[in-house]
Amino acid sequence: MDIYNIAIVAHVDHGKTTLVDALLKASATFDTRKELEVRAMDSNDQEKERGITIYAKNASIRYKGAKINIVDTPGHADFGSEVERVLRTVDAVILVVDAYEGPMPQTKFVLRKSLALGHKVLVVVNKIDKNTARPDEVVNLTFDLFASLGASDAQLDFPYIYAIAREGIAIRNLTDERKNITPFLDFLLEHVPKAGGNTDKPFRMQPATLGYDNFLGRMAIGRVYEGTAKVNQTVTVLTPTGESRSGKISKLYSYEGMERQEIEEATAGDIVALAGIPDIYVGETITTDAKSEPLPAIKVDPPALAIDFMVNDSPFAGREGEYVTSRHLKARLEKEMETNVGLKIKCSDTAETM
């Protein structure tokens, strides 16, 4: 089976997550009996409230016998620790641009990272149904942005397509009949390179993000670069600094739609989740060959904001909220650290500040 790995990037509110919704509905494995929630990939409570993507998330669709792994990425520079890591797991990037607004500041942020990694970038000019839409001009503005960011000649010759993601429509030319999202799926298979990887070599995988399960503990989510791994197999974890330790794979999961599906083995090219290594961290290399070279280290952007939690000494202290003590706050932050590698906690030396 052919595998294609793509990341979808965009400025906030340019329709990136809505486009993913349309792709999920068009998948050969989509169950029409299950209603898909609007902006389904924004599953976190904060994401639903704010209407933005904060955490990178994985999904997959099936089309014409191929599996297309999709990574939905944050569109804001404040969540940059999520973006660059997941871009390392894909072979091409889909850049969604509003047909009226054109490239915006956050477009520049995520596009620079994509181009620096040498990825092929495909452009989707979205919201062409707007009365103020100027799709052809936006394509030219996007070309100018590519050039200003130092794109290679091959990257400058980017393929593009038009879309109305909210209605699940894509067209190659503005004069084409507006039917469904199928032209975009064909567009992907035509321009996205197939995921490579030698299955005859020892297994090598690098976590790009972390997940957490109440029963399985911390989970490594990333791309299998080489080889094949099986459940209950013993592996070696290599750190970027040259240290190593042993572990054992207890569970393997692949993605079908938005759901994790348990599998018995993971092969090169696929994006999977792996459980069984409680202290795994982003950027480490998981391999079946202890003498293998670790994969290039992944840089995690430092936190963009620092916050001091202080004792509330106002007259209204303790009148609302369920978990308000420093002990509860610390426990919640430590739980968040299981999956959020952009978060750092430093305890204060004083009793008034955490």
Band of the pLDDT at 49, cuts 50, 70, 90?
very low
The per-residue pLDDT of the chain, averaged, comes to 84
pLDDT of residue 40: 42
What tokens does 191 get? 């321009």
pLDDT at 351 over 70: no
Map residue 319 onto helix, strand or coil.
Answer: coil
pLDDT of residue 244: 92
- Residue-level pLDDT at 339: 67
Question: According to the model, what pLDDT value does residue 44 have?
Answer: 44
Domains and CATH numbers, the chain: 3-191 (3.40.50.300), 204-287 (2.40.30.10), 302-354 (3.30.70.870)
Q: Report pLDDT for 311.
A: 78
Sole residue written with tokens 């989707």: 124
**Which of the residue ranges 23-27, 83-87, 276-280, 292-296 would you say has the lowest mean pLDDT?**
83-87
Region 173-192: mean pLDDT is: 95
Q: Does position 334 have pLDDT exceeding 70, yes or no?
A: yes
- The angle, 0 to 180 degrees and rounded to 10, between the axes of the packed helices 182-191 and 16-26 is 100
Residue 68, H or E segment: strand 66-72
- Rounded distance between C-alpha atoms, residue 270 and residue 195, angstroms: 8
pLDDT at 54 over 50: no
User: 50 pLDDT exceeds 50?
Assistant: no
User: Phi then psi for 236, rounded to 5 degrees?
Assistant: -115, 135
pTM: 0.81
pLDDT of 230 above 60: yes
Taking the CA atoms of the chain, what radius of gyration do you get in angstroms?
A: 22
**Look-up: residue for tokens 């400058």?**
156
Question: What is the reported pLDDT for 337?
Answer: 72
Whole-number pLDDT of residue 320? 74
